[in-house]
Amino acid sequence: MDDITAPLVAVEWEDITAYSRTALPDDFEPYRLRKLTCGLLWKDTPEYIVVVGDYDISNEGRDYRHNDFHIIPRGVIRRLTYLREGTAPLVSLEVEAS
């Protein structure tokens, strides 16, 4: 199995809110949508991060082992937390042979 070195993260971010009517009523209260996405920090750039929420550990040797990508622009990220206990990851991607 490939050795996975991507850290596990929890990302709090703000999504957009849409209102589709042509005029806003007086009692309209805009609210913000806060999201929490957890997974492997697959890519980290100055403009965005990529979090992978699903990694297929049984698909060894194929190109499509990771799924459920979240591409999150840096401008909407409110907090990025590395999910570690000391220096060890909280979970392991190692699979025991059966």
In the DSSP assignment, the letter for residue 86 is T
- Domains in the chain and their CATH numbers? 1-15+32-85 (2.30.30.100)
The pLDDT of residue 97 is 47
Output the pLDDT for position 54. 79
For 53, residues 6+ apart whose C-beta sits below 8 A from its C-beta are 37, 38, 39, 40, 67, 68, 69, 70
- For residue range 33-52, list pLDDT tens digits in order: 889 999 889 899 999 999 98
Task: Show the low-confidence residues of the chain (pLDDT under 70).
Answer: 1-4, 21-22, 24, 27-28, 59-66, 84-98
Question: What per-residue confidence (pLDDT) applies to 6?
Answer: 83
pTM of the model: 0.68
